[in-house]
Structure 1
Amino acid sequence: MGNYFSIIIGVMYLIGVFLIPKWRRKKLKPNWKFYELLWFSLCFIFYVIYLEVQLQTYYFLIPSTFLFLFLFCYFKEKRRLVNGLLFNLFLVVGMTYLGSLLVRTVNPLLILLAGITSIVLILLLLIGLYGLVVFLYWNAIVVMKKEGHSLANLLTLLLAIGLTVFLVFSYFSSRILPSWASLLFGILPFSMFYFFVVFYNFLTISIIYQFNQPNYEQDFIIVLGSGLIDGKTVPPLLGKRIEKAIQFYKAQDRATLNPPKILMSGGKGDDEHIAESLAMKNYALEKGIPEKDILVETNSKNTLENMKFSKEIMEASFGGTNFKAIFTTNNFHLFRAGLFAKMAHLKADGIGAKTAFYFLPNAFLREFIAIIMMRKRRHLIICGLISLMMFLLALVDLFFVS
């Protein structure tokens, strides 16, 4: 019976793999890869539940509880960093559960998945930090060649240099430092580990937030501004934000014959000849968007002001607060922009424009630093507690152990 069920699940999965792309191509929002992943997850969940029923146990309810907790918090409010932590807790509990199920069933499929996972983990352990450093140096060279040598474009290089110094000093510290001093040096790796966990949670929820698919019933699309070339020309990065908005505008128009207003948001910088939003409007006009469907917000200087001032314009244009809105920005900036929308009391989620792969590591580092600064007091307290703990351990080692 078990083999028959496994075959049935396998056949159902393969049928879905072939039919989902054909089904999604007929939709206005194809996004078939997301549905392929969802279909695999559903088939795997049914298979795991079947194995549990065969064993007459119901331990799958444990990871399911963590999954439902994440889903409840995420769909209640997508724009929260804690959602990344909740999803990663589900992954840890889920992997532990699957390991337990493997031991209890010795199932071939679970053995295959465990083997693949083990290979990936072994490679990470072997390459680990050294591989990361090599990648960061390579990425830094590419970014500097393509984007210039500004400080914002040097983040991967600075991180690579910092990690190199850390690795070299770590190698020699145990040989040249007394044990109490090594404990004090431990402040750095413990703090680095803490920020790695914070970054991983941020990266997780940033990736999950990319799957946001708003309905074609929006009243407004806010396009977040950025700097202009020579103070007047829309750069490629900003152009992709506008084109993402235009893509949604046309899709909603086809679906409902009622396109949303596109609200260009961005003021005039000190080195710019015109407001960013006016340059953005001209860009959209050249792409064939009617002027009557374009609004401009010309006073904002940062993303939070983008959200606040755009909200005021939308309320005035709509004649109330019961409007539906989304915003567009580059995918690496999407989640932090959502946080600013939340701070502005604007009920709006975003859709992200694609960014060249080489630019993403540097861009996500910049976003992460900005996220850290938004909650800097909390992080300073935690780093202070880590330092205090290691300092006390060093004192104990110096006066009571050495």
Structure 2
Amino acid sequence: MYFAVIAAIFLMVFVGLYVWDRRRISNGIFLTIGLFFVLLTILYVVLTVSDRHDVVRVIVTGLAIILILLIPFFFFGLIFGLIMNGRTMMKKEGKRLANLLPMFAGLGLLGLFIWGIAQGSFISSPPLAAIFAAIIMILTYFIFFFVTFLISSFVYQYNFPRYNQDFIIVLGSGLIGDKVPPLLASRLDKAISFYTKQLLKTGKQATIIVSGGQGENELTSEANAMRLYLLEKGIPEDYILMEDQSVNTLQNMRFSKAKMDAILPKYKSIFTTNNFHLFRAGLYAKKAGLKSQGIGSKTAFYYMPSALMREFIAIVMMHKKLNLVIVGLILLMFLGLFLISFL
């Protein structure tokens, strides 16, 4: 049972790293590989049993055939879903490039499928075949990375900080003029909920740090708009602290840390953001030297595909040197194979 041993090793490494620091993309890598070998172990056990039991063999064979037949439906369903989600995003959120990411992804997959069919049917060009194979290999790598990111993000959601916090950082996400939009309101409501529960359970009042500067199309700073929102919800002004200089998540964390350091030498803090942004915000908190963990607010379902794609692209850019090296090695490998074919 080599698969089981390998699965156990990867899962134990994941548990150790997760306990040490859950804000690591490597946690998701070890968990993804561990789960893959768990599936292989289950498959091996089922196939071994099916060699001795005709009924089990028939059931396993039937399920395998059904799954294989469902692959085309899943693939084209994914393409259709992504394109329709892009259409929904355009209607509800506007025709910004970020909102079109699901549509671009769906059209890209459709284009690759058509290219693959054409390549196998009537296009007989070795250079095009090599380029197609290289694209598929690079796409496979990024799909694995994306799955790893999704698993890391999902696992990080299960964070239950203790009700002993000194500070709650609320990360800004843009305004509509001088008004707090629903996305940002959900972050503030999450902070209010934690603040209230901590006060009821322990009697301790946390200071809420509203973090965000003023954008080009905004009539006031995000921090000030958030402060007014909290005041309307009944949070005492003495327990609201503004950080209104930051323009990105890393600065949110760094500038908020400076505010907290100036008030208390030792403190406990958490941050709130939307669930899709939680994992990347945790990475930035670590980069800023904060021990803070995050709690996520819910996001509208239709918004999630685009949001997760943006988060993934941001994670890729955080590790751009490593990703460029891997993509470069893949291209060099296919270039070498292409040159060898002419020798």
TM-score (structure 2 length as normaliser)? 0.92
Superposed CA RMSD: 2.5
What does 1:250-261 align with in structure 2 at a 5 Å threshold?
250-261=196-207
Deviation at 1:190, TM superposition (A): 0.8
Residue of structure 2 aligned with 1:71, choices 5, 10, 15: 15
Q: Secondary structure at the match of 1:329?
A: strand
Residue of structure 1 aligned with 2:309, choices 349, 356, 365: 365
Q: Distance in 1 between matches of 2:324 and 2:276?
A: 25
Amino acid paired to 2:334: M
Amino acid paired to 1:345: G
Amino acid paired to 1:164: L
Gaps of 5+ in 2: none
Q: Secondary structure at the match of 2:285?
A: helix
Deviations 1:198-226 (A, max 9, x none): 11101110111111111111111100011
Residue of structure 1 aligned with 2:110, choices 150, 164, 171: 164
Q: Distance in 2 between matches of 1:90 and 1:189?
A: 24
Instruction: Note closer, same or farther for the CA distance 1:269–1:171 as it changes in structure 2 (3 Å cut).
Output: same
- 2:3 and 2:38 in contact (8 A); partners too: no
Deviation at 1:111, TM superposition (A): 9.1
Partner of 1:102: 46
Partner of 2:237: 291
Q: Secondary structure at the match of 1:154?
A: helix
Instruction: Note closer, same or farther for the CA distance 1:112–1:266 as it changes in structure 2 (3 Å cut).
Output: farther
Q: Distance in 2 between matches of 1:113 and 1:367?
A: 40
Q: Percent identity?
A: 44
Partner of 1:219: 166
- 1:222 and 1:262 in contact (8 A); partners too: yes
Partner of 1:317: 263
Q: How many residues align?
A: 339
Q: Secondary structure at the match of 1:186?
A: helix
Q: Secondary structure at the match of 2:294?
A: strand
Partner of 2:280: 336
Amino acid paired to 2:305: P
Partner of 2:37: 93
Partner of 1:9: none
Partner of 2:139: 192
Instruction: Note closer, same or farther for the CA distance 1:122–1:219 as it changes in structure 2 (3 Å cut).
Output: farther
Amino acid paired to 2:44: S
Deviation at 1:339, TM superposition (A): 0.7
Partner of 1:354: 298
Q: Distance in 1 between matches of 2:110 and 2:154?
A: 28
Deviation at 1:388, TM superposition (A): 1.1
Residue of structure 2 aligned with 1:381, choices 325, 328, 332: 325
Instruction: Note closer, same or farther for the CA distance 1:218–1:119 as it changes in structure 2 (3 Å cut).
Output: farther
Residue of structure 1 aligned with 2:176, choices 197, 214, 229: 229
Q: Give yes or no for the alignment of 1:150 onto 2:91.
A: no
Q: Distance in 1 between matches of 2:59 and 2:246?
A: 50
Instruction: Note closer, same or farther for the CA distance 1:159–1:100 as it changes in structure 2 (3 Å cut).
Output: closer
Deviates more, 1:121-130 or 1:302-311: 121-130
Q: Distance in 2 between matches of 1:389 and 1:59?
A: 29
Q: Distance in 2 between matches of 1:329 and 1:61?
A: 38
Instruction: Note closer, same or farther for the CA distance 1:193–1:285 as it changes in structure 2 (3 Å cut).
Output: same
Amino acid paired to 1:130: F
Instruction: Note closer, same or farther for the CA distance 1:116–1:357 as it changes in structure 2 (3 Å cut).
Output: farther
Deviation at 1:101, TM superposition (A): 3.1
Deviations 1:111-144 (A, max 9, x none): 9997998588436523243221111011111111
Deviations 1:267-324 (A, max 9, x none): 1222222211111010011111111111111111111000000001111122x0x211
Partner of 2:125: 178
Partner of 1:282: 228
Q: Distance in 1 between matches of 2:67 and 2:291?
A: 40
Instruction: Note closer, same or farther for the CA distance 1:338–1:113 as it changes in structure 2 (3 Å cut).
Output: farther
